[in-house]
Structure 1
Amino acid sequence: MNEIQKFEQYLLINIPIPDSETDVSPYVKEILNGEYEVVLKNEFFSSIILNLIDENIEENISINNDNCKNWFYISVASFLYFIQSNWTGPFKKEDIDSLLRLRRRASTYLSFHDQFNENVSKSELLYFAKIILNNDQLHKHLPSSLWWLFRVNHIHQLILEEASENLFNKSENLIKQISISNLINNDSLRTLFNIEVAQFYFYYRRIQSSEIYLEDARAVAKLSFDLEGALGKRTKYQQQAKPQLYLNAKVDKDLFPHRVCEILPKVINLSDDLRLEKVEFLIERKNVELGCIEEAIIMTKFFQLKLSQPNDQLTDEEIIPYLNNVIDNTKNWSLRMSALFQRCILESNNKRTIERSLSQIEYLIDQLNISKTFISFRLDLFFASGMNPIWLFKKHLANMMLNLGMVKGALDHYLSLSLWEDVIICYTILEKKYKAAEIIQQELSKKPTVKLWCLLGDVTEKVEYYETAWKLSGEKSSRAQRHWGLYYYSKKNYKESVVHLKLSIELNNIQESVLERLGFAAMQIKDWKVAASAYRKYCVLEQSNFEVWNNLAKVYIKLGDKRRAWYSLQDAIKCNFNKWEVWGNLMVVSIDLGHFSEVIHCYHRIMDLKGVYVDIEILSILSKAIINNVKDFYENPSRKYLKNTLELFGRLTASISNNSDIWILYAELTVLKNNGMEYQKAIQYFQRAYGAAISNPRSFKSVEDVNKVLGICLRLAEISMSYLTNCSNTQKKVILVSVKLCLQSVIKKVEDLIWEDQSGITENFIKVKENLKIVLDLLIEIQNKED
């Protein structure tokens, strides 16, 4: 691939052209100055556009050495003008006349069988830019066109209401091509590219993929940042300083070149009667000056943490220092806008900050329409900022109004934004659900769409409307099948639900919520293969949901694939380390597979979480495996786990002293150590087992329970006899007396039992009597020796 030219670098980074550069096209200067309309309305370009034939425009674009740059300039100008019209502002009503005729074609081309967001303005600009940038000849002549196409695809995805598998795959292919090209041949470009790729993966919630590029960006920039604590005060009347989090950032190289925007969105003051505007630290902290690209890395880290952590107040406390660092220090317009918007989202959940959040979002919306800040400055690092389009600013304003109980005000905003799902919610709150159906029908009379037919089906609960939506899409809409399937899902008709949800996934594989419900519905009808497929695909998209990993393990068990179940449960544990039920499931699968070290680890962890926990079945299997020295999962003798298992029983008996089963297993394992001291311990454990057994009111209620007590006595006698050979007469006497008392007591209890049929215990009862006779004889023998 050709070397990237200087003017391509200027356009990618959006930096001013040095005065020393005299051979740069005036079109490049106009684009960098934000004069996109000037470029698009240029007579040369207008005539080219007008001469294009509507059908197969792609084939009419001729790229060669002479005019490839011109096509490139017009595509970039068209794309950036689209960004201005939907993201950065200031927004202009005037259209580009020569491109206006492409709007209908753009609507079809960009929609992917489902309508894109109704608030998108000047869609023909994006369409025209994408058609040009998709040209293979352009890629050969101008390598940066691949990067611009990647940006176009990402923006295209952001205007769609459904995640597109098609766009995802194409964009990943572009990432690979750019990564091995000469495009990112310097640190500044490489860092910027890594940030933009991370932002791309955030949309699809590919957290692990994003981390790779975020870490590379941080490493190239030689930027380090960590959360640290320092004493400070958060409230006005706080007497004692407490530890507060802040972000400590350091750079070990010169900052990347950047320019300063003088007119930035202002920060609205909190104006609270209790909270301070900022945390007041006891020791003044010195801020490290960062460049805009370095700040973009910190902002990207914020997004990564926000997506990967649980959505709760603790997470908010941990990620807000990243936002504050950007808000307080950045001189970049897009980063400031994006950071302030994200803070509005976080603060909208707190009663002390929601008023500031409401005022701030209203101010930001106004700023998008004000032309004080030059357009060119607004585009600096735009693609690395994670900034949202104007309609999401307005939607969040409506959401806050709804949270504050301003239902009618929120409804007006939702109606203006054509957010019909939210309109339905508002009318439901107002107990006017019929009104939502009326409005949707009015919109359908203007322009029937798949989305509207689906929503009408949701409101009226009539299946035929989903079928109409499906046919309207030419049987290609994943949305129609999703709504259809979820209707049956809500009615618990899982068999029908699986049919439609499965088809929806076949049409669009990137639907986490649908995959989760498909997996659950398939489990309900015992279609284990479909459930496993759905959960596997979900876990590829969203790797932090322990419940799905847990369900996937259950499905694998049903399919008889315990190994895969074990690995799934390992992933579930990573997602939620504090859910004892998942540890219990992992323990059960581990015992089946012979992962004995994992069984012991799981049991300890469950006790950490629950305090008291008894699972005799697991303990019995583990103990028998060690006693019989069976092979573990790795074909090693299981006797190697004896020490750790004894430690587990030691911990168990310290908190549970009245369970005879535990004492029996503990004693049997202790005997395996085969030395005098351990034999003595084993005798004590059997005595504890006997005491726990006879103290249980149920111990002599059934043949099984009586045989259990008799078995303990027999084993106690057997172990005691084995130990006597290495004891003094005094020790022998103490042990035999103790055993005698146990045997005599149990014999009397059994003789007092009144049963019609005692044949079930006769054999063991006779053996106990025989052992008692032996014990008595030994005591007489010892007594004679002493005399």
Structure 2
Amino acid sequence: MQFPNSFFLGVHHDDDDDNSCRKKLDFLADKLKLKNNLRNDSLQKTIDEIMDNETELSENWMELGSLALHLFIKSNWTGPVANDDELEWLAQKKEEAYRELNVGIEYNDNVIHLEVLYLAKLIFENEKIVSTYESAMWWFVRVNYILQMILDDVSNTILQQCELIIEKIYQNTEWYHNAPIHLKVLFHVEVAQFFLLYKRINESDKHLEIAQSMAGLIIELRGAMGKRTKYQIKEKALLYLNIEKEKEIDHPVLNCNSLPISVNLNDDVRLEHIEFIENMQQPKLNLLDEIIILAKCHHLQVGQPKDNLATEEIIPYLDTIIESTKNWPLKMEALRQRSALEIKDKRSIERALSQSESLIGQYNQSVPSECYRMYTLFASGMKPIWAFKQNLADAMLSLGMIKGALDLYLQLQLWEEVIVCYTILELRHKAAEIIRQEISKKPTVKLWCLLGDSEQNTNHYETAWKLSGEKSSRVQRHWGLYYFSKQLYAESIPHLKLSVELNNIQENVWIRLGFACLQVEDWNSAAKSYRHYCDLEQSSFEAWNNLAKAYIKLGDKLRAYHALHDAIKCNYEKWEVWDNLMIVCIDLGYFSEVIRCYHRILELKGKHVDIQVLEILTKVINDKVSNSESESARKLLHQALELFGRLTALIQTNPHVWRLYAELTILNETDLDYQKAAQYLQRSYRASSADTKWFQKIESTKNMLQLCESLANAYLKCTHNVSVGIKRSMLGSAKLSLQSVITKVKQEKLEEHNEIVEILMSVENLLKHIVEELDKVKNTD
């Protein structure tokens, strides 16, 4: 059976009657004898029996399912909601719907008509439907996409169901193979939006790339000179979205003439739009292009850290959609996303407030009609009505309109935000009263958890746990975070572990579990927790860094190395991560990486001395130790000398650095390098002797004598092929240095120590040698 393209795009009728979806659904339910047979049996059993009695499965079932889904979306997403939207014959199955759609996670308190969604789900998951109409699998993914959006937490059950179906659709179905290009593009964008609900960035990116390739669309951010403010004199480099199209795809067009308006900024300083010096010519975008661009924008928001730079990258995508699109859900969602970003900016927060009010007003307007509101809604990523209302409440809260925000949060039953408002108003006890009132009406797991948070009473978590039948990940999350906030990490771990066992798609729990395990030194559990977190949220350098720490403690340096590389990808400017990577590279024998890391640390810090690392690097080069690739580390001599040259230019008073620099310089074995080494050792000697307390400890005395030994040997080597005058000067300098140290050691009677005797004797012998060489020079004169 081939359904018309409009069926998949969300159009069931050509008229403008906003109740036509409900009317047609009623008509089909009658035609399929669903209303008459729906008595005491469950809805699922009734549907199965009717289908079993049909000799040839009617395509009306597919349309009934899609109409049910659309009616649910109208009630919770697009509006306008009419009083007669409820289906009386189906309303009796409310309890069954709540029971059978249960995946262990509570629904948003603002959801209405869940039984209609349940009807759609039963139809599209029916084996007979799927075997007869392959496209039913796509509708099943859509149902699950909508179901996930009305849940308070992400559901691993839904994700696992849909992963298998999505793979099957585009790999093994004849329907997908024969579908027109525009439907394939639409399918892949919807799949990308689905995966973004779970922060599966890689999977989402894969499907967006397929859609973009099919559409022949090239999108990239570029910089151009322009002005952002009214009084700006010099242009600055600003981002814009460069779009190129390689081909055009035929697809149905349904332009809406009653779009939501974009509220003007009306700021005293900032321009309405960036004024670029050059006229940025963009190709005319079609609906598929706009859908892909908005999905890419959503992908950026989910996949990047939330900071000012990310906002600068996101805004060009949203501006492109807002200025271009004639599609109602795309315009609504783009404006909502822009408002959510502008709440954080004092120059745009007033527009965010006005824009949010304007968007909410759309839900009660009679225009545009249903078909325009539903057209490509699944691919738009448009959020439910309560998300738009929360935007408005958030804007009010940011502007200090606490009571207005509180009223809206109460209406939306956003109890966490209610607690925040009452806390600001110094009425925190009021939050507990409100929650208790709600519990007295209808006790829920969520309310008992929030009461536990509000009153800091673990007994409430225990009540919630029993109420959930000991199946709620939310309860264990709240319970664990209660202990975590009090730094009782050992007590928090069992609850956090149980929470992720019940629902493993909780990045905020995984990262706290990992941290708690680090604190109690449970390295295995810490590594496991941070691994899971990094699978879900790949842009946190702290998580990668902590994962590396756990691996280091477990002795798995190679995995620590890879984790630290991922940390650097997330934050290239954090010197501590480079320092950790440098230490791991030393242990793994990645000596060239050690040098690269040290250079980067110097770029970030300006000055950094890690004598232990520098000593190891010098030793492996000196001893020709094999690196990780079985090559001699002596090959890195030139790079190491460059590093020491940079380091001594920045830090000129560290004796250890000059000494190591000299050790490496001598390895070149030229007269000039011997002279350089002698100079570096002399600098080291001066820096050491500047410390007037060097002789007060055996270890520092020993170091000074060893330095004198190296200094003497260097001067003796570099005076072979020099003029008599230079030789006399150099040997004379060496003689004075050695005499000074030997005299001080004997004055302090340090030569009696066993550790000093041998090295002191060696230095004295070298001094005699130097004196003999000086005498030869004098005799030559």
Same fold (TM over 0.5): yes
Aligned AA for 2:25? L
* Separation in 2, partners of 1:65, 1:660: 94
CA displacement 1:591-619 (0-9 Å, x = unmatched): 11212122111111111100000000111
Per the alignment, residue 774 of structure 1 pairs with 769
Per the alignment, residue 20 of structure 2 pairs with 35
Per the alignment, residue 30 of structure 2 pairs with 44
How do residues 428-443 of structure 1 correspond to structure 2 at under 5 angstroms?
428-443=423-438
User: Once the 2 structures are TM-superposed, how far is the Cα of residue 730 of structure 1 from its aligned partner?
Assistant: 5.2
How do residues 32-111 of structure 1 correspond to structure 2 at under 5 angstroms?
35-42=20-27, 44-45=30-31, 47-52=33-38, 53-54=41-42, 56-57=44-45, 59-60=48-49, 62=51, 66-94=56-84, 95-111=86-102
* Separation in 1, partners of 2:405, 2:153: 24
User: Once the 2 structures are TM-superposed, how far is the Cα of residue 728 of structure 1 from its aligned partner?
Assistant: 5.5
Per the alignment, residue 629 of structure 2 pairs with 634
Give the secondary-structure state (helix, strand or coil) at the position aligned to 1:279: strand
Pick aligned residue for 1:115 from 76, 81, 106: 106
Pick aligned residue for 1:137 from 128, 131, 134: 128
The answer to whether 1:456 aligns with 2:451 is yes
How do residues 679-690 of structure 1 correspond to structure 2 at under 5 angstroms?
679-690=674-685
CA displacement 1:142-195 (0-9 Å, x = unmatched): 111111111111111000001101111111112111121334434212221221
Is the CA contact (8 Å cut-off) linking 1:710 and 1:746 kept in structure 2?
A: yes
Pick aligned residue for 1:753 from 745, 748, 754: 748
Per the alignment, residue 305 of structure 2 pairs with 310
Aligned AA for 1:62? M
Is the CA contact (8 Å cut-off) linking 2:545 and 2:564 kept in structure 1?
A: yes
Per the alignment, residue 155 of structure 2 pairs with 164
User: Once the 2 structures are TM-superposed, how far is the Cα of residue 127 of structure 1 from its aligned partner?
Assistant: 0.7
* Separation in 2, partners of 1:136, 1:33: 32
Is the CA contact (8 Å cut-off) linking 1:14 and 1:32 kept in structure 2?
A: no
Q: 1:564 to 1:426 in 2, by over 3 A?
A: same
CA displacement 1:5-32 (0-9 Å, x = unmatched): 54153312346xxxxxxxxxxx777899
Q: TM-score, normalised by structure 2?
A: 0.94
Is the CA contact (8 Å cut-off) linking 1:87 and 1:389 kept in structure 2?
A: yes
Q: 1:443 to 1:542 in 2, by over 3 A?
A: same
The answer to whether 1:146 aligns with 2:149 is no
CA displacement 1:574-598 (0-9 Å, x = unmatched): 1111111111111111111212122
Is the CA contact (8 Å cut-off) linking 1:28 and 1:73 kept in structure 2?
A: no
Is the CA contact (8 Å cut-off) linking 1:184 and 1:193 kept in structure 2?
A: no
Give the secondary-structure state (helix, strand or coil) at the position aligned to 2:228: strand
Q: 1:281 to 1:552 in 2, by over 3 A?
A: closer
Q: TM-score, normalised by structure 1?
A: 0.94
Give the secondary-structure state (helix, strand or coil) at the position aligned to 2:174: coil
Per the alignment, residue 198 of structure 2 pairs with 204
Q: 1:28 to 1:328 in 2, by over 3 A?
A: closer
Worse-superposed segment, 227-236 or 168-177: 227-236
* Separation in 1, partners of 2:538, 2:376: 29
* Separation in 1, partners of 2:269, 2:739: 76
Per the alignment, residue 23 of structure 1 pairs with none
Worse-superposed segment, 615-624 or 221-230: 221-230
CA displacement 1:273-326 (0-9 Å, x = unmatched): 333222233443334210011011111121122223332223222221111111
How do residues 218-233 of structure 1 correspond to structure 2 at under 5 angstroms?
218-233=212-227
Worse-superposed segment, 656-665 or 36-45: 36-45
Pick aligned residue for 1:538 from 525, 533, 536: 533
Is the CA contact (8 Å cut-off) linking 1:724 and 1:732 kept in structure 2?
A: yes
Give the secondary-structure state (helix, strand or coil) at the position aligned to 1:244: strand
* Separation in 2, partners of 1:664, 1:239: 54
User: Once the 2 structures are TM-superposed, how far is the Cα of residue 463 of structure 1 from its aligned partner?
Assistant: 1.3
User: Once the 2 structures are TM-superposed, how far is the Cα of residue 59 of structure 1 from its aligned partner?
Assistant: 4.2
Give the secondary-structure state (helix, strand or coil) at the position aligned to 1:249: strand
Give the secondary-structure state (helix, strand or coil) at the position aligned to 1:62: helix
User: Once the 2 structures are TM-superposed, how far is the Cα of residue 451 of structure 1 from its aligned partner?
Assistant: 0.7
The answer to whether 1:300 aligns with 2:295 is yes
The answer to whether 1:246 aligns with 2:212 is no
Is the CA contact (8 Å cut-off) linking 2:419 and 2:431 kept in structure 1?
A: yes
Structure 2: which 5+ residue stretches go unaligned?
none
Q: 1:503 to 1:8 in 2, by over 3 A?
A: farther
* Separation in 2, partners of 1:68, 1:32: 26
The answer to whether 1:513 aligns with 2:508 is yes
Give the secondary-structure state (helix, strand or coil) at the position aligned to 2:112: coil
Is the CA contact (8 Å cut-off) linking 1:40 and 1:46 kept in structure 2?
A: no
* Separation in 2, partners of 1:461, 1:771: 75
How do residues 677-716 of structure 1 correspond to structure 2 at under 5 angstroms?
677-716=672-711
* Separation in 2, partners of 1:143, 1:285: 44
User: Once the 2 structures are TM-superposed, how far is the Cα of residue 720 of structure 1 from its aligned partner?
Assistant: 3.1
User: Once the 2 structures are TM-superposed, how far is the Cα of residue 715 of structure 1 from its aligned partner?
Assistant: 1.4
Is the CA contact (8 Å cut-off) linking 1:195 and 1:300 kept in structure 2?
A: yes
Q: 1:56 to 1:249 in 2, by over 3 A?
A: closer
How do residues 137-536 of structure 1 correspond to structure 2 at under 5 angstroms?
137-180=128-171, 181-185=173-177, 186-257=180-251, 258-536=253-531
How do residues 660-675 of structure 1 correspond to structure 2 at under 5 angstroms?
660-675=655-670
* Separation in 1, partners of 2:559, 2:231: 56
Per the alignment, residue 616 of structure 2 pairs with 621
Aligned AA for 1:83? I
Pick aligned residue for 2:8 from 3, 7, 12: 12
CA displacement 1:557-577 (0-9 Å, x = unmatched): 222222221211111111111
Is the CA contact (8 Å cut-off) linking 2:305 and 2:539 kept in structure 1?
A: no
Worse-superposed segment, 768-777 or 469-478: 768-777
* Separation in 1, partners of 2:692, 2:604: 30
| Count of residues paired in the alignment | 771
Aligned AA for 1:679? Y
CA displacement 1:665-716 (0-9 Å, x = unmatched): 1111122222333222222222221122112233222221122111111112
CA displacement 1:478-528 (0-9 Å, x = unmatched): 111111111121222222211111111100000011111111112222222
* Separation in 1, partners of 2:534, 2:238: 35
* Separation in 2, partners of 1:740, 1:749: 14
* Separation in 2, partners of 1:46, 1:432: 56
Is the CA contact (8 Å cut-off) linking 1:663 and 1:689 kept in structure 2?
A: yes
Aligned AA for 1:744? Q
* Separation in 2, partners of 1:55, 1:341: 37
Aligned AA for 2:51? S
CA displacement 1:96-147 (0-9 Å, x = unmatched): 1221111111112223233201111111111110011111221221111111
Give the secondary-structure state (helix, strand or coil) at the position aligned to 1:310: coil
Q: 1:50 to 1:591 in 2, by over 3 A?
A: farther
Aligned AA for 1:113? G
Aligned AA for 2:183? L
* Separation in 2, partners of 1:298, 1:432: 45
Give the secondary-structure state (helix, strand or coil) at the position aligned to 2:83: coil
CA displacement 1:710-759 (0-9 Å, x = unmatched): 11111122233344455555554443233223222323333443669555
* Separation in 2, partners of 1:500, 1:163: 18
Q: 1:32 to 1:77 in 2, by over 3 A?
A: farther
Q: 1:585 to 1:240 in 2, by over 3 A?
A: closer
* Separation in 2, partners of 1:597, 1:387: 50
